[in-house]
Amino acid sequence: MTAATKPRFIRADGPDKVTGSGRYTADLTLTGMLAAKFRYADIAHARITKLDVSAARAIPGVMAVLTADDVPDVRFGPFVQDRTLFARDVVRFEGEVIAAVAATTAAIAQRAVDAIVVEFEPLPLVTDLEIGLTADAPLVHADWASYGAAGALVRDRNDASFSSISKGDVDAGLAEADHVITSRYVADGSHAAPIEPRAVVAQWEGNKVTIWTSTQVPFDARAGVCETLELPANRVRIIVPHLGGGFGGKCGFHYEAHIAALAKAAKRPVRLVFSRREEFLAPDRRREGMVIDVTTGVRNDGTITARKAWIAIDNGAYTADSGFFPQLAAMHVSGPYRIPNLYVEAHLVYTNHQPSGSVRAPTAPQSCWAIESHTDEVAAALAMDPVDFRRLNAVDTGVEGPSGQTYGEIGVQQCIEEATKLVGYGRTLPDDEAIGVAIGWWPSFAVPSGAYIKIDGDGSGQIITGAQECGTGSVMTLRQLAADELGMLPEDFQLVYQDTSVAPYDMGATGSQTIFNNGRAVIAAAGQIAEQLKALAAEHLEASPADIVLADGHAHVAGTPSSSVSITELAGIASGGELLIAHGSGTPPSAPPLLGSSCVGDVGMAAFVAPQFSCHAVRLRLDRDTGVVRILEVGAAHDSGTIINETGALGQIQGGVMMGIGQALTEGTLYDDESRQRNPALLEYKLQTCADSPVINTHFVQIATPNAGPHGAKGLAEAPNVATAAAISNALAKLLGRPVRRLPMTAERVWETMSEVDPS
């Protein structure tokens, strides 16, 4: 542990979770509560020619049945307003909701769903990304041009969002290269697959509704309910009980409005709990499939002269929060490299697949897998060690990045050195083992946030925050930040969070932003409390407030620790008159300027605020008879700025690496010819388990980043998911003699690559 690393402490929510006493949304029971079920499309693209719910409404025990005719006709979406609560006229993917039922039991609700009569006129499917972009392709949204959209978005037909990065003269840069290498990589879509399927409970009291929901973003959920049901914010309260994971899959606004509308119609509380199958099929947050074509020019000495890339991203049927994905993908395919001449274009393509969304580090693992596999191909063309190639071409302090951003002090080069040391890169290995290396990056998301702090009369503190806890531990670390400012212990503070009617706004558990943004807010509020305590102590000790030091639960005069008063005593004094209450907000840092590049479709990701860098090195073993890959050892080195809570940070690295292994080897969504998912179950969709976990060694390159998070911290939670699959790919390619060009690199695809059969 470095000097900058703060002490460890136990999570406040840990005992409840490990003993089973914690209550999740599905555990909630209210008097008179009804069960909800949905009628899904079960067809990927069709016009609704008949919808009859009369038989469902006539079933005893059915209290409400809703369709699009029963709710306001509102289109919504964070980037493109292309969706309604219930399907109107046309369904565009199999999991689209056509109707919702509330009944006295789940069995009766399912009977009612089965009694709903729906007839369809099938419409042409769009499932291939490249075909979807052609001028004569069927339209997923025939009236796309009439939809409201964010002003910066560039859209055309099935191209829901287009972005490009242009720097220098890419054609001239390729012409001056000694070697030009072109590669194509294809990544399947995949799922967040949190262990807790989503659940929602809604109850009305007069004209106000309280909704308990398993969301990562309670304020976003509230905004969605307000928009779609046409309600003011003061009539909607979102509460999040314990949340059983999310990984981005529970970001955004999902089914809160459906259940609120059912509860209002039925005049009773209503609860929805998804089955595992529904968790796979219905939500609009799955990892996007991608096609990546990349060409890189290099000189004989290994320096990059130019890069040109084309990217297609599977948007699915609706544009959830994926409108910024093309620009994000373009940055990741550019990579953290010195590239003087660059042109990258990225297209977000409507298809009749389940909508994509912000699963952990959206577009980054697929892009990094493609570009880092390509990087090893480039190094091989030069007969150059791939680690040496990265040392030569990776960005560094004071260097200009791919979009013209100039970096302050960063640690990518140190990450390369440390990760390779962790696995002994370069040592002699058995014939069936190899080590692969990959570097990656990820931005820190700078957004507004807020927090309240109060010190009670007994000297204990409360932090009231809008931040959301989905297992990351970030919210728990806020106690540590407040304690450091006030000379108290983290255990002296309680947290009040995950309730929109109590706390100030926060973006939620998304974008690795909690410590980065809400941490600044907590420090600001704690600083105000500190000034109040110092003023009280100065009066009590007959000293100047400027001479008061807060430490070890006391306020004392600098240089004379014996002259002190406890914070508990000061809090008691304040509770009889002036109360110790404060609020703070984290002013987000501004995006760095770009020099010498232009970006089309710029939605705010053309430069990375406080960028995080990582290098992962993976040692694996290949069974050549079966194509089965076993990960033996991982070295993960990260520049995430100052580490605030090492225990939580290590957990993030380990969890991100395991998720990356799954994405690399086993996790991928399969579709049949009618665009229905073939593997929406944990038996067929293979997650990694503890038995698959390798040794994971971690090193933090701690560089305090000015104008970033508290004490120079950056984000952390998504970065560990970025480079793992790429490092696995590069180790595997050493054993196969060429890369597997489709993700996930399943045993079948590995075996086919060994057999020189097209693995696609």
Domain 290-443+605-754 belongs to what topology? Aldehyde Oxidoreductase; domain 4 (3.30.365)
Both structure tokens of 388? 């040496």
Q: How confident is the model at residue 616 (pLDDT cuts 50, 70, 90)?
A: very high
Least trusted range by pLDDT, from 47-51, 143-147, 150-154, 361-365: 150-154
SS (H, E, C) 100-145: EEEECCHHHHHHHHHHCEEEEEECCCCCCHHHHCCCCCCCCCCCHH
Give every CB contact of residue 690 below 8 A, 6+ residues apart in sequence.
Answer: none
Nearest CA-CA partner of 188 in 666, 724, 684, 721: 666
* In the predicted structure, residue 4 carries a pLDDT above the cut 50: no
**Torsion of the alpha carbons at 594, 595, 600 and 606, rounded to the nearest 10:** -30
Q: Angle CA(400)–CA(404)–CA(406) in degrees, nearest 5?
A: 40
* In the predicted structure, residue 296 carries a pLDDT above the cut 70: yes
Residue 18 to residues 12, 23, 256, 637, 751: CA-CA distances in angstroms? 12, 12, 28, 30, 41
* In the predicted structure, residue 281 carries a pLDDT above the cut 80: yes
CA-based end-to-end distance of the chain? 46
**Torsion of the alpha carbons at 410, 411, 413 and 414, rounded to the nearest 10:** 160
Q: For position 564, what pLDDT does the model report?
A: 93
Cβ atoms within 10 A of the Cβ of 523, count? 22
What percent of the chain has pLDDT above 70?
98
Mean pLDDT within 6-15 = 69
Mean pLDDT within 91-120 = 98
Strands 270-273 and 290-298, bridge-based pairing: unpaired
pLDDT tens digits, 11-24: 788 888 889 899 99
Q: For position 2, what pLDDT does the model report?
A: 37
Q: For position 576, what pLDDT does the model report?
A: 66
CATH 3.90.1170.50 fits 17-123+198-273, yes or no: yes
pLDDT tens digits, 542-576: 999 999 999 999 999 998 888 899 999 999 988 76
* In the predicted structure, residue 10 carries a pLDDT above the cut 70: no
482, 584 Cβ separation under 8 angstroms: no
Q: Angle CA(663)–CA(374)–CA(178) in degrees, nearest 5?
A: 175
Mean pLDDT within 637-646 = 95
Class of domain 447-585: alpha beta
Residue type at 352?
N
Using CA atoms, how far apart are residues 638 and 617, in angstroms rounded to an integer? 12
Using CA atoms, how far apart are residues 221 and 202, in angstroms rounded to an integer? 13
* CATH 3.90.1170.50 residue window(s) in the chain: 17-123+198-273
Q: For position 308, what pLDDT does the model report?
A: 98
Q: For position 13, what pLDDT does the model report?
A: 84
Residue 295 to residues 243, 306, 336, 736: CA-CA distances in angstroms? 43, 8, 16, 22
Using CA atoms, how far apart are residues 132 and 386, in angstroms rounded to an integer? 36
* CB-based burial, 109-126: b 16+ in 10 Å, e otherwise: bebbbebbebebeebebb
* In the predicted structure, residue 757 carries a pLDDT above the cut 60: no
pLDDT tens digits, 453-493: 999 999 999 999 999 998 888 898 999 999 999 999 999 99
* In the predicted structure, residue 359 carries a pLDDT above the cut 50: yes
Q: How confident is the model at residue 9 (pLDDT cuts 50, 70, 90)?
A: low
Both structure tokens of 109? 């609700």
Q: For position 254, what pLDDT does the model report?
A: 92
Q: For position 110, what pLDDT does the model report?
A: 98
Q: For position 756, what pLDDT does the model report?
A: 76
3-state secondary structure of 610: coil
Q: How confident is the model at residue 731 (pLDDT cuts 50, 70, 90)?
A: very high
* In the predicted structure, residue 758 carries a pLDDT above the cut 80: no
Mean pLDDT of the chain: 95
Helix (H) or strand (E) holding 748: helix 747-754
How many residues make up the chain in this entry? Answer: 760
2, 702 Cβ separation under 8 angstroms: yes
pLDDT tens digits, 283-293: 999 999 999 99
Q: For position 598, what pLDDT does the model report?
A: 81
pLDDT tens digits, 200-244: 999 999 999 999 999 999 999 999 999 999 999 999 999 999 999
* CATH 3.30.365.10 residue window(s) in the chain: 290-443+605-754, 447-585
pLDDT tens digits, 160-206: 999 999 999 999 999 999 999 999 999 999 999 999 999 999 999 99
